């Protein structure tokens, strides 16, 4: 038996199997995005598959934006969290297809973003929304619809900058893609 | 100098263009006319670096001699670069920067839209991913062209000057080439025959809104990214961009 086949959470160790996949999912629920630390990788919908093959756990993740500098950091965080939970040798691979869309952000993720002061993406990422760019964004602080875009781009690739004309607070909007 | 197979050359054309365009955008760091515009340019640049890396990863896989995305970006000489002449041109003022960005975005938008349906799964996946980002880029640069062209007398004149400065490099955006023909014949990518018309339609539409005139089609001249015959600006850009990796190979921190 190879070391990589062991689940090493207890002193004795035991071989892992498919029944451990659920536990891996619950570990991933606690791996947070480094730039938006209130949402987990599961909330963001970037974990595309978790499974068991050849005595190893594997995880398939997809990047949010092509140039997102957090992608590698997230992979490392996932690896460390899984190893800490006893998955001795998790395989983490990246997949570009199908391309990530904000439609995959879970309801829990959307609520967490809003509570953190970031307006969640509005509507679905169809072509019309992307091309026209016209969206009614609700202020995450006071709930007013009377908001305006300050900049198409914000502090990270996934956000744009808005301002609420009612409570006058600026805020980030998680762009729809 | 190594000339790769047609598909790899095509991947380098896409990757190199994205990387060099991103490098030019980075030159605006700390010098943009407004904070929001600086954020915008850096975000677009970041997307393009990511796209370049995806194209390079695939190219490196095909070259298969131990090279990787970093080596392709930082250890090739000027003559090996396949980027569009347009993107290596100096930034000039904000009007020149936005005009270059707009011409490039319109080209990317239509190329990627066609490549989304490529039989080659790698290409289709990267194109689909990139297109989402490029749609934002095109929207932003189109808005700037309209705002400056249809703005004050000064901004309109600057746009006219900017178009005069870079228009002659647009012949590469609309030329039909044997490499792409053979790739589509071989079934790797869809035919790009509609590309000139699509690019021209986007430029005409935005220019009309911007009260700007579309010049006659630019003619081919002796420089060509396909043969590595670049303008004098690329060497200087690479000297700066590649310095660290050339001086301290595989440096890490």
- Domain count of chain A? 2
Query: What is the CATH number for A60?
Result: 3.30.300.130
Q: Can you tell me which residue has the tokens 């080659």?
A: B120
Closest to B159 (Cα-Cα) out of B69, B78, B99:
B99
Report the pLDDT value the prediction gives residue A53, as an integer from 0 to 100.
Answer: 86
Residue A102, in any domain of the structure: no
A61 and A28 within one domain: yes
Find the domain containing A81 and state its range. 3-94
Report the pLDDT value the prediction gives residue A10, as an integer from 0 to 100.
Answer: 44
Chain A partners of B142 at a C-beta cutoff of 8 Å?
none
Q: CA-to-CA distance for A79 and A84, rounded, in angstroms?
A: 9
Residue A127 has pLDDT above 80, yes or no: no
Residue B100 has pLDDT above 70, yes or no: yes
A66 and A125 within one domain: no
Tokens found for residue B64: 């298969």
A49 and A89 within one domain: yes
Residue A11 banded pLDDT, cuts 50, 70, 90: very low
Q: CA-to-CA distance for A48 and A44, rounded, in angstroms?
A: 11
Residue B21 has pLDDT above 90, yes or no: yes
Contact criterion met (CB < 8 Å) for A97 and B124: yes
ipTM over 0.95: no
More confident residue, B231 or A9: B231
Helix/strand/coil percentages in chain A, nearest 5: 30, 25, 45
Q: Which of A153-167, B6-20, B86-100 has the lowest mean pLDDT?
A: A153-167
Q: What is the pLDDT of residues B190-208, one digit of tens each?
A: 999 999 999 999 999 999 9
Q: What is the pLDDT of residues A73-104, one digit of tens each?
A: 999 999 999 998 888 889 999 999 899 999 99
Contact criterion met (CB < 8 Å) for A65 and B47: yes
**Alpha-carbon A138 to chain mean position:** 22
A8 and A77 within one domain: yes
Closest to A24 (Cα-Cα) out of A46, A54, A56:
A56
Domains and CATH numbers, chain B: 6-247 (1.20.1260.10)
Query: A124, A103 in Cβ contact below 8 A?
Result: yes
B132 touching chain A per CB within 8 A: yes
Report the pLDDT value the prediction gives residue A143, as an integer from 0 to 100.
Answer: 92
Q: What share of chain A in percent tops pLDDT 70?
A: 86
Report the pLDDT value the prediction gives residue A125, as an integer from 0 to 100.
Answer: 66
Q: What is the pLDDT of residues A41-58, one digit of tens each?
A: 999 999 999 999 888 899
Determine the average pLDDT of the residues in B169-174: 95
B87 touching chain A per CB within 8 A: no
CB pairs under 8 A between A and B: 77
Contact criterion met (CB < 8 Å) for A155 and B39: yes
Residue A11, in any domain of the structure: yes
């Amino acid at each position: 038996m190879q070391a990589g086949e062991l689940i090493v959470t207890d002193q004795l160790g035991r071989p892992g199997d498919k029944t451990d996949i659920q536990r891996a999912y619950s570990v991933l629920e606690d791996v947070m995005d480094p730039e938006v630390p209130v949402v987990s990788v599961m909330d963001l919908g970037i974990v595309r598959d978790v499974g068991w093959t050849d005595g190893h756990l594997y995880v398939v993740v997809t990047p949010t934006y092509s140039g997102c500098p957090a992608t590698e950091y997230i992979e490392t965080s996932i690896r460390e969290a899984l190893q800490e939970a006893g998955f001795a040798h998790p395989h983490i691979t990246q997949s570009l297809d199908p391309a990530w869309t904000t439609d995959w952000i879970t309801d829990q993720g959307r609520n967490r973003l809003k509570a953190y002061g970031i307006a969640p993406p509005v509507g679905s990422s169809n072509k019309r929304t992307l091309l026209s760019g016209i969206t009614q964004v609700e202020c995450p602080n006071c709930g007013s619809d009377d908001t305006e875009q300050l900049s198409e781009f914000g502090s990270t690739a996934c956000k744009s900058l808005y301002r609420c004309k009612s409570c006058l607070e600026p805020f980030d909007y998680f762009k729809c893609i | 100098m190594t000339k790769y197979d047609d598909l790899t050359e095509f991947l380098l054309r896409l990757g190199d263009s994205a990387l060099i365009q991103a490098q030019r955008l980075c030159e605006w760091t700390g010098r943009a006319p407004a904070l929001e515009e600086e954020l915008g340019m850096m975000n677009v640049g970041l997307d393009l670096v990511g796209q370049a890396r995806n194209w390079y990863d695939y190219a490196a896989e095909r070259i298969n001699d131990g090279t990787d995305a970093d080596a392709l970006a930082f250890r090739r000489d000027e003559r090996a670069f396949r980027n569009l002449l347009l993107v290596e041109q100096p930034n000039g003022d904000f009007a020149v920067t936005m005009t270059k960005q707009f011409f490039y975005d319109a080209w990317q938008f239509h190329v990627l839209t066609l490549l989304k349906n490529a039989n080659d799964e790698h290409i289709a996946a990267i194109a689909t991913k990139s297109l989402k980002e490029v749609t934002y880029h095109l929207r932003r640069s189109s808005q700037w062209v309209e705002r400056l062209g249809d703005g004050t007398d000064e901004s309109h004149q600057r746009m006219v000057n900017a178009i005069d400065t870079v228009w002659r490099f647009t012949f590469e955006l609309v030329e039909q080439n044997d490499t792409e023909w053979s790739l589509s014949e071989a079934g790797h990518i869809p035919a790009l025959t509609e590309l000139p018309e699509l690019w021209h339609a986007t430029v005409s539409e935005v220019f009309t809104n911007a009260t700007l005139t579309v010049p006659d089609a630019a003619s081919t001249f002796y420089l060509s990214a396909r043969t590595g015959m670049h303008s004098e600006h690329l060497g200087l850009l690479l000297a700066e961009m590649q310095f660290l990796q050339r001086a301290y190979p595989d440096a890490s921190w």
